[in-house]
Amino acid sequence: MVYNSIMYAIVPPFLLLIVLDFVSKLFSEELQLVNIGMIHLLPILYAAMRLGRRDTLIVSIASVLSFNFFFIPPTLTFTVHDVRYVFSFIIMIAVGQIVAWLSARAVIAKELETSERLQETLLGSLSHELRTPLAAIMGASSGLLTQELNLNNEQKQELYQTIDSGAQRMRRLIDNLLDTARLQSGVLKIKDQECDIPELLGSALAKAEHTFSATLVIDSDVPQIRGDAVLIELAIFNLLDNAFKYGDAVNVTVSRETFGVMIRICNTGSIPSSHEASLAWKAFSRLSNVRGEEGIGLGLYVAYRIAKMHGGEVETMSDDIQFCVTMRLPERRYG
């Protein structure tokens, strides 16, 4: 599996190398040897910017060997008569490794910057989302504890309901935060088991809070897939919860595709623009159609990460009539 992933990663720079070899050979007299050497740096730099240091080393060696074989006298051999070319080859490989190292450092710096922005967004969202249910709980509990108020059973029941609703809201928020933290940290391990998607959909529907029913269309030949049933159910629940929260009607389709299973959940109602909808899966994404509903924009992101862990994907889209989330899961998880 590791061998296959390496071969797949280095295909683009190898194809680029083949094209450059052909062009260089075709115009070898016009280009001259020094320019051909510079041209052979291009696949190395491509690999260094896109791949890791190991793959860059493989591409660098291939580019050096190709340059030597086709262009360094005597051509069509790997013999090197001039030691200066050896130093040139070493420099080419070193350049690839240095650029790959700098690219890796740039990625780490970008991740740290993104993490800091996420933390700022998280703190800002928490300060608002936790304060609202907490204020309701404190107000209701204070009313129940105040001796001066002569509350009847109906009024007490309303206050109890307020406390329960506030606690449930805080629990959902904390659950989403914990799920996100576990997924981002990589400590969450997938259990490999048979998963019946229609069964998991039914279980998620039973847990979702909604005042209207969803329309279900489930193919009879939907296959079982390999994955973590608990996580997949959580992903489906988050998709349903989002649809019921912001939609007026929800349609769920489960069908078999060549790669595995497709789950599409669409809702009408207040629909975001197509551009907004395409980014709805991102962490802390709150669209213009939220209508004051609770949440900090983690539900779809959790579903997205779970799908990725299973080798699948989540796509979000809007056609101004309905908002749809499509989750695709392969029959077997690879990698």
Reported as a single tens digit per residue, the pLDDT across 227-254 is: 888 888 888 988 888 888 877 888 999 9
With residue 58 as reference, give the H or E element that holds it.
Answer: helix 53-71
Task: Quote the CA–CA distance of 90 and 244 in Å, as a whole number.
Answer: 61
State residue 32's pLDDT score: 81
Please say whether the beta carbons of 260 and 311 come within 8 A. Answer: no
State residue 141's pLDDT score: 84
Tell me where in the chain the CATH 3.30.565.10 domain(s) lie: 193-330
SS3 23: helix
Please say whether the beta carbons of 238 and 302 come within 8 A. Answer: yes
Please say whether the beta carbons of 17 and 59 come within 8 A. Answer: yes
Check whether the bond before 74 is cis (ω within 30° of 0).
yes
State residue 184's pLDDT score: 60
Answer left, alpha or beta for residue 292, where phi above 0 means left and psi between -120 and 50 means alpha: left
Distances, alpha carbon 101 to alpha carbons 63, 95, 108, in Å: 19, 10, 11
SS3 331: coil
Task: Quote the CA–CA distance of 168 and 170 in Å, as a whole number.
Answer: 5
Please say whether the beta carbons of 71 and 33 come within 8 A. Answer: yes
State residue 113's pLDDT score: 66
- Written as six digits, the tokens of 60 are 């660098």
- Written as six digits, the tokens of 328 are 């695709």
Please say whether the beta carbons of 298 and 311 come within 8 A. Answer: no
- Written as six digits, the tokens of 44 are 């190395």
- Written as six digits, the tokens of 27 are 């115009």
Task: Quote the CA–CA distance of 241 and 135 in Å, as a whole number.
Answer: 24
In eight-state DSSP terms, residue 146 is -
Distances, alpha carbon 116 to alpha carbons 112, 126, 175, 260, 287, in Å: 6, 15, 21, 37, 22
Task: Quote the CA–CA distance of 327 and 306 in Å, as a whole number.
Answer: 10
| Spans of the chain below 70 pLDDT | 1-10, 111-130, 147, 172-173, 176-188, 278-297, 332-335
State residue 2's pLDDT score: 38
State residue 153's pLDDT score: 82
Place of tokens 């981002």: 184
Looking at the domain covering 193-330, what would its CATH class be?
A: alpha beta
CA max distance for the chain: 103
pTM above 0.85, yes or no: no
Task: Quote the CA–CA distance of 313 and 329 in Å, as a whole number.
Answer: 7
State residue 285's pLDDT score: 61
State residue 3's pLDDT score: 41
Q: How many CA within 13 A on the CB side of residue 39?
A: 21
29 CB-near residues (< 8 Å, 6+ apart): none
Task: Quote the CA–CA distance of 189 and 127 in Å, as a whole number.
Answer: 31
Task: List, in sequence order, every beta strand (DSSP E) within 180-246.
Answer: 193-195, 215-218, 225-227
